[in-house]
Structure 1
Amino acid sequence: MSDNILTSNTIELNAQFSSKEEAIRYVGGLLHDGGYVEEAYIDKMMEREEVTSTFMGNYVAIPHGTEDAKKSVKETGLAVVTVPDGVDFGDGNIVKLLIGIAGKGDEHLQILSQIAIVCSEEENIDTILNAQSKEEIISIFNEVN
């Protein structure tokens, strides 16, 4: 994964949220603050969540914008947030790992496949959730190439 897609500026360890909306807006804010998206993208992330949940199982959610949100993407980026106490994404689906995505063009497809590889191993999810540093998380994602 390219060095500028996931940086320590877009990783937050041990966050706490009272709702999935708060969690998604936070992840979107990291993408915005990192210069990957315009602020409008955050609302498109909320719209996506209303259409279909971004909960993927294994305590993972991958919030991202709707198809028409692409115009709000400046460059491809990721935001990773760990939530050890979990946040309820509805229907009893507890999320402990949020991976926000902003993809320029079709780049999100490659990123999604890399995330799928990382998150298909429960061991990797545990490693990310127990990470003591942002660098540890970056190295886990960089191993998948």
Structure 2
Amino acid sequence: MSNKAIELIRLVGVAKSRDEAISEVAEMLINAKAVTPSYRDAMFDRESSVSTYMGHYLAIPHGTLEGAAEVLHSALAIVRYEEPIDWDGNEVRFVIGIAGKDGTHMDSLAQIAQVFSELETVEKLLKVSTEEQVREIFAEQAAA
């Protein structure tokens, strides 16, 4: 995944709940014309079947297989929250919405997993003040 794919970053999310957070990243993907508005429904369908909470303050909402047709091009939407969001009893500070075209989401998932596997890196992401610093952390992990 290139840094170009990490173009949608919001360092101060406005959502206060899991569902609001899913809608927030979905709107970012929709506004970027990466997905159709119907993709939001596919993200909620996925969440209702299995939680997208991943650990280390991270949730990765994404659509169902049926929703794949709603993806126009690959993109990530990253939102950081000042206050933890209750995600089915888990604390979430980062929500990363994924739209993967033609299987490219697997590369994105691998890089996200690498970045969030180390709590030290998560702590860095909690402290950054610019979108460029987020991109740099992802780039460092990709190069590692």
Q: Specify the SS of the correspondent of 1:142.
A: helix
- The DSSP-based 3-state class of the residue aligned with 1:81 is strand
1:33 Cα offset (Å): 1.0
* Aligned match of 2:102: 105
Displacement of 1:30 after TM fit?
0.7
In structure 2, the residue matched to 1:137 is 134
Normalising by structure 1, we get a TM-score of: 0.93
> Identity of counterpart residues, as a percentage?
39
Q: What letter corresponds to residue 129 of structure 1 in structure 2? A: L
- Which sections of structure 2, spanning at least 5 residues, go unmatched? none
| Deviations 1:38-83 (CA, angstroms, capped at 9, x unpaired) | 1111111111100000000111000100111110001111011001
- Unaligned runs of 5+ residues in structure 1 are none
How do 1:1-145 residues align onto structure 2 when only pairs under 5 Å count?
1-7=1-7, 10-90=8-88, 92-143=89-140, 144-145=142-143
Aligned residues: CA RMSD: 1.1
After superposition, the C-alpha distances for 1:84-128 in whole angstroms (9 at most, x for unaligned) are 2111111x2110011111000111111111111111011111111
Match of 2:129, SS state, is coil
Q: How many residue pairs get matched?
A: 142
SS of the residue corresponding to residue 98 of structure 1 reads strand
TM value normalised by structure 2: 0.94
